[in-house]
Amino acid sequence: MLKSVLVSTVWNLWTIPICLAAVYSNFTDLPSKHYDFVIVGGGTAGNVLANRLTENPEHSVLVLEAGGTNIDAFQLDVPFFAGLIKFQYDWNFTTTVQAGLNNHSIFMLRGFVLGGSSSVNGMFYTRGSADDYNRFASVTKDDGWSWDALQPYIAKNEKWEPPADRHNTTDPMVFEAVDELGGIFHFNEDYNSGKPLGFGWLQSTITSEGRRSSSATSYLAPEFISRDNLDVLLHARVSRVLPSPKSSSSKYAFRTVEFAQDLHGPLLSVSASKEVILSAGVIGSPHILLNSGIGDTRELSSVGIKSLVDLPSVGKNLTDQPATVQEFLVNSTTTNDDILRNATLLNEVYTEFNETGMGPLVATGGSQIAFFRVNQNLTDMFGDPAAGKDTPHVELFTGNGAFGAPPPTGHFFQLGAALVSPASRGSVTLNSTNPFDPPLIDPAYLTSPFDIAAMREALRIIYRYISAPVWDGYILSPFGALENITASPRRTAMSAKDADYGVVDPDLRVKGLRD
Ligand SMILES: Cc1cc2nc3c(=O)[nH]c(=O)nc-3n(C[C@H](O)[C@H](O)[C@H](O)COP(=O)(O)OP(=O)(O)OC[C@H]3O[C@@H](n4cnc5c(N)ncnc54)[C@H](O)[C@@H]3O)c2cc1C
Ligand SMILES: *[C@@H]1O[C@H](CO)[C@@H](O)[C@H](O)[C@H]1NC(C)=O
Ligand SMILES: *[C@@H]1O[C@H](CO)[C@@H](O)[C@H](O)[C@H]1NC(C)=O
Ligand SMILES: *[C@@H]1O[C@H](CO)[C@@H](O)[C@H](O)[C@H]1NC(C)=O
Ligand SMILES: *[C@@H]1O[C@H](CO)[C@@H](O)[C@H](O)[C@H]1NC(C)=O
Ligand SMILES: *[C@@H]1O[C@H](CO)[C@@H](O)[C@H](O)[C@H]1NC(C)=O
Ligand SMILES: *[C@@H]1O[C@H](CO)[C@@H](O)[C@H](O)[C@H]1NC(C)=O
Ligand SMILES: *[C@@H]1O[C@H](CO)[C@@H](O)[C@H](O)[C@H]1NC(C)=O
Ligand SMILES: *[C@@H]1O[C@H](CO)[C@@H](O)[C@H](O)[C@H]1NC(C)=O
Ligand SMILES: *[C@@H]1O[C@H](CO)[C@@H](O)[C@H](O)[C@H]1NC(C)=O
Ligand SMILES: *[C@@H]1O[C@H](CO)[C@@H](O)[C@H](O)[C@H]1NC(C)=O
Ligand SMILES: *[C@@H]1O[C@H](CO)[C@@H](O)[C@H](O)[C@H]1NC(C)=O
């Protein structure tokens, strides 16, 4: 126990921009309107693709990103600020009224900046179980998605570094409690090994210099962004992909991308000779497809959109992982709470961070993560939405302080819980024919009986955990009501080539279109 050090993964390390020659903010400055590949969305996935495709000097690539630059945005750079909501870099989406949340609508955070959600997220590096990937392989009938087949790519994506700084206030107690309790509370040296169950040290996408590593800081680092064959256009909000004439084929090809820099200004366009790649995220990608007439024909025509390709799964099966946090009042003064309510202290630790790359701001404030399965009586009763017996239903994460907005006084220990294998399924649909209007986002949180029971069980796990003797005299009492459910959605859109549902095939090509 406790022999492992806290480690973090970074993809690459660049903090100072050297050259931004290929990042444009104005369409008129763009050197070309025709590229081999046009990537829609310079987010987590988009920038990886931009990087890999431009390894081949024969390929010209344009990335269209709706948001602005990540450079010089200290809120994005400082790991500790990850938990603060930064509307300037967000899409400002809210969900539809959620029956499972007492008819409330909640924010659905999504990054609106180069790097996408990887520029604003919590930087938890969590991979999913081997079962999860093997289920992708079996659902899509493509073994390339299996855990074993993906290992070379996982290895290519990772670069391990020790953490910039270590904080030790609650760390020893967190693992002492695990030892004391036993059973489902056991140490797991590496929860990214394919077998996540147990309690482990959090792995984060933070550099050894204590900076956020996003797809923008890594895959668009100076040595890559300076490639002659890579251009990025910021403030480019894509509305639709446009079809070429059907010609001899019975299917449409989509090679033109329509966008605007000023939502009330002219529509602009660029074209791709090889492929248009949609990587606008779990909300943006289905939104663009639906705007383009690719979706459920009946639903599109009821909104007033002419359907070009009847693909009923677009925007369906939206799967999100609801999460909540519980705070506990503690008998301590060495938590992180004061940093967010004492400007003098914040200035001190920021100066330390800026000058030395050390101090409390180099981490997110919690150093452990844990994964559990719910009691078998629940899976017996409702069925098991998880991909296999090594696959968790519940994720727990620790915080040495109340994050986001700590109450005016007091010191806290925080335990967050997320449902990582939820059964509820929601949707993204159009609300109007204006492609720049937000879509209707319905994650259908806690609408399945399994999810409701599993969330209750997650809270039981939290209370069992804090009952460990080591917390006596430290954790004094639960504090306040549970915070609002927050979430980060995913979508299962992939199906086998011959399946009668799904949006993309195992090669991630949209079904029903000409290649
Ligand atoms: C606040 C928050 C915390 C999170 N914490 C974690 C965490 O700790 N660990 C973890 O593993 N996951 C976390 N996630 C989830 C994770 O970050 C996302 O699953 C992942 O980044 C999604 O990648 P993506 O490429 O699909 O989309 P994104 O990274 O969101 O990229 C989509 C990009 O497309 C752009 N775009 C969208 N629409 C358009 C359009 N019409 N025109 C042009 N551009 C467009 C967006 O601006 C964005 O840059 C978190 C997410 C959020 C929001
Ligand atoms: C883009 O450049 C053109 C020509 O220089 C200018 O007229 C226009 O205002 C610029 N647009 C923006 C959004 O800055
Ligand atoms: C979200 O709101 C903030 C202001 O609160 C704004 O700066 C930002 O541009 C908005 N995002 C979008 C996508 O409009
Ligand atoms: C939620 O709204 C529905 C439909 O309007 C209503 O029937 C239901 O009673 C509401 N539930 C709560 C908890 O308010
Ligand atoms: C953390 O560890 C260091 C070095 O062992 C020690 O000096 C410091 O007092 C510890 N801090 C806390 C809050 O336990
Ligand atoms: C949702 O996914 C399931 C498989 O998990 C599939 O059977 C169903 O057809 C999908 N629904 C839609 C509308 O695509
Ligand atoms: C705020 O932090 C400073 C610097 O650490 C400290 O001197 C001061 O006492 C703190 N103020 C309060 C109200 O705790
Ligand atoms: C951070 O450090 C840089 C130089 O190292 C300096 O220019 C900048 O002003 C500092 N920022 C703050 C907010 O102190
Ligand atoms: C499942 O089992 C647990 C513990 O054994 C018990 O507390 C819980 O009430 C049971 N739940 C149901 C739905 O039977
Ligand atoms: C959907 O459109 C209606 C009518 O225009 C509007 O009142 C509502 O706010 C829109 N919903 C969203 C989520 O934008
Ligand atoms: C707080 O901790 C101190 C020792 O660290 C202990 O003496 C005291 O009893 C604790 N207070 C409570 C309310 O448990
Ligand atoms: C929680 O949700 C309620 C109801 O939607 C809202 O009034 C409140 O501001 C939310 N609190 C936070 C911290 O987001």
pLDDT (average), residues 390-400: 96
d(CA 294, CA 506): 19
For the chain, list the domains and their CATH numbers.
Answer: 1-82+110-123+212-294+309-314+491-515 (3.50.50.60)
Return the top range by mean pLDDT from 74-88, 376-390, 393-407, 470-484: 376-390
pLDDT computed for residue 493 by the predictor? 63
Q: What is the mean pLDDT of the chain?
A: 91
C-beta 88 within 6 A of ligand 3: yes
d(CA 313, CA 496): 13
Which residues make beta-bridge pairs with 323?
Answer: 418, 486
- In this predicted model, which residue has the larger pLDDT, 235 or 101? 235
Q: Give the residue, out of 69, 76, 88, 234, with the most ligand 3 atoms within 8 A of its beta carbon, to mutate for a pocket test.
A: 88
pLDDT computed for residue 483 by the predictor? 54
pLDDT greater than 50 at residue 499: yes
C-beta 102 within 6 A of ligand 4: yes
DSSP 356-389: HS-SGGGS-S--EEEEEPPPHHHHHHH---SSST
Nearest CA to ligand 8 atom 14: 351
For residue 91 the two structure tokens come to 């899409």
Q: Is the pTM of this model over 0.85?
A: yes
- Cα Dmax for the chain: 77
Annotated binding site for FAD: which residue ranges? 113, 238
pLDDT greater than 90 at residue 176: yes
**Ligand 6 midpoint to CA 85 (Å):** 33
pLDDT computed for residue 12 by the predictor? 33
Task: Tell me which residue of 105, 63, 112, 62 sits closest to 86, measured CA to CA.
Answer: 112
The answer to whether 252 and 244 are in contact (CB under 8 A) is yes
pLDDT computed for residue 489 by the predictor? 46
Q: Which of 287-296, 447-456, 492-501 has the lowest mean pLDDT?
A: 492-501
pLDDT computed for residue 162 by the predictor? 87
pLDDT computed for residue 482 by the predictor? 54
pLDDT (average), residues 77-103: 92
**Ligand 7 midpoint to CA 76 (Å):** 25
Nearest CA to ligand 8 atom 10: 354
